[in-house]
Amino acid sequence: MPVARRWRSVLVSFVILVLVLGAWQAATHSEEAAAVVDPAYAALVGNAAASGGKTPFPGPGEVAAQLWRHLQDPFYDRGPNDKGLGLQLAYSIARVLTGFLCAALVAIPLGFLIGMSRTLYEAFDPFIQVLKPVSPLAWMPLALYTIKDANLSAMFVIFICSIWPMLINTAFGVGSVRQDWLNVARTLEVPRLRTACKVILPAAAPTIMTGMRISIGIAWLVIVAAEMLIGGTGIGYFVWNEWNNLSIANIICAILFIGLIGMALDVLLARAARLVSYRE
């Protein structure tokens, strides 16, 4: 029974969650009982000393309370170092989408061209093979030097990391369109451009969408690191800022949201992929 099995897996998921939270609670609870505080040190650092001179790792309850605060007012803006989690995520999403869309605008037409021509494919291949494995963050100094704008540089880093999977997948999809289908278009004397739009593009669309899905996944991974470097706004900066504030609860909240947004982006593209998929 698929329905019964579904409920069983939901139940197991729930059990895993409870176990993890329980272990977390147990681990953080025992830590709190620690340490005698030197009174001179307490006088020096004030309130922080009350918890034993060391910021304790927050338990699930604390994180949940913090999460609730974030959810109640996600978009507040009280200056450069105090913005709502929702606002920071919005900055990150905007950067990722801009860089990603620019990359798609370049990668898909270029991939199409490369996929259509064996010569171009072989000509571009060495460049792609060398540039693809470069960590996108390695481009950051070059971007900062040439663009001279932190925000644009972050978008450029997203652009450069999302371009490769889309380029490679588009070229591969276009290059491996079934010969039968191309022959159909040829025997029907369909003009080249029409063949490209009506045969090659739909035939390659699922492969292209897969490339886009890989790209957006990588882009979302990279944006956190990029924003830690550029600072100012974004979820990556938020995480770094909270590290400097030693607010572990905030960092955990951010991790949770980064995961959720990443999943949402993936689901969105999976939906789009289903629209262009076909069964043979």
Partner 1 sequence: MSRPFLEVEGLAKHYPGRDGRPGAPVFENVTFGIERGEFVCVIGHSGCGKTTILNILAGIDAPSAGTIIMDGREVAGPSLDRGVVFQAHALLPWMTALQNVEFGVRSRWPAYTQREVRSHSVRYLEMVGLGHALDKKPAELSGGMKQRVGIARAFAIQPKMLLLDEPFGALDALTRGTIQDELLAIVRATGQTVFMITHDVDEAILLADRILLMSTGPRARIAETVAVDLPRSRTRASLHHEARYYEIRNRLVDFLVDKAAKKEPVAS
Distance CA 119, CA 171 (A): 12
Q: Establish if 29 lies at the interface with partner 1 (CB under 8 A).
A: no
The answer to whether 39 contacts partner 1 (rule: CB under 8 A) is no
Token digits of residue 95: 């950067």
Which residue is it, tokens 């259509």?
116
Q: In angstroms, what is the minimal distance from the CB of 203 to partner 1? A: 8
DSSP-derived secondary structure letter, 199: I
- The interface with partner 1 within residues 113-132 (CB under 8 A) comprises none
Of the candidate spans 13-21, 142-150, 174-182, 251-259, the one that interacts with partner 1 by CB under 8 A turns out to be: 174-182
Cβ(203)–Cβ(178) under 8 Å?
yes
Which has the closest alpha carbon to 33: 54, 52, 53, 58?
52
Residue 183 in the binding site for partner 1 (CB under 8 A): yes
Interface region with partner 1, contact rule CB under 8 A, candidates 92-100, 161-169, 179-187, 249-257: 179-187
User: Whose Cβ is closer to partner 1: residue 271's or residue 279's?
Assistant: 279
Size of the site for partner 1 (CB under 8 A): 20
Is residue 203 near partner 1 by the rule CB under 8 A? yes
Stretch that binds partner 1, among 21-29, 72-80, 199-207, 246-254 (CB under 8 A): 199-207
SS3 content of the chain, % helix, strand, coil (to 5): 80, 0, 20
Residue 256 near partner 1 by CB under 8 A? no
Q: Of the candidates 109, 141, 202, 259, which one interacts with partner 1 according to CB under 8 A?
A: 202
DSSP code, position 233: S
Residue 237 and residue 231 in contact, taking contact as beta carbons nearer than 8 Å? yes
- Rounded Cα distance between 171 and 124, Å, is 11
Q: How far is the CB of 179 from partner 1 (least distance, A)?
A: 9
Q: How is residue 127 written in tokens?
A: 């460049």
Given the complex with partner 1, which of 4 and 280 has the nearer CB atom?
280
Report if residue 193 touches partner 1, rule: CB under 8 A: no
Cα separation, 203 vs 278, in Å, equals: 8
Write out the residues near partner 1 by the rule CB under 8 A.
Answer: 178, 180-181, 183-184, 186-191, 194, 198-199, 202-203, 276, 278-280
